[in-house]
Amino acid sequence: MGNKVNFGLKNAHFSPITIDEETGEDVYGTPIKLPGSVELSLEPRGDMVEFFADDMLYYSAPNNQGYDGTLTIANIPEEFSVEILGEEKDEDDLVLTEKTTAKPTRFAFMFEFDGDVKATRHVLYNCTANRPNVTGSTKTDSVEPQPNELTFVSSPRGKDDAVKTKTLTTTPNEIYNAWYNNVYEKAPAV
């Protein structure tokens, strides 16, 4: 029996994508923990394609263009700012600078939701992040943390049109337990 509910967002990781110069294929880096996840929202991209003929809906099909994502997170880690957002770290003065010429890096995004049976683990294969919102407020008689919002787009990847993969309650332990070691790729048939 599968999970009936999703709750408990945790274990967010990101994996920078580089391009193999010889093959032109995407290469996923080792997943890096992205701590402090508060909330995740994934809104489907792409409208339903509808064609009317003979005075009725003659044909309809989904147009899957991935997701628009918003990750609410306690703080954007320095490593994410440098590796993914393209901010520059000055090693002498130990400051981080955002520049208009920054070149963001695509990444895979991995996370899980607890469930009533087994936590469902996900990977979004081809993401691009926008600069996060910067918010804050003055302290009052009660202190409430102000999380950051990181928006991103998850698109289909070029080699196989994969957008997202997730585990099931029946996923073998060898795949499930290694989920955050590497970005999941189906093993080639032998």
Summarize pLDDT for 72-128 with one digit per residue, the tens: 998 899 999 999 999 999 898 989 998 999 999 999 999 998 766 788 999 999 999
E strands, the chain, where? 7-19, 26-28, 32-33, 37-44, 49-53, 56-61, 67-73, 88-90, 95-97, 107-114, 120-129, 148-154, 164-166
Write the pLDDT tens digit of every residue in 147-156: 889 999 999 9
Whole-angstrom distance, CA of residue 72 vs CA of residue 36: 9
Q: pLDDT class for 162, splitting at 50, 70, 90?
A: very high
Residue 134 has pLDDT above 80, yes or no: no
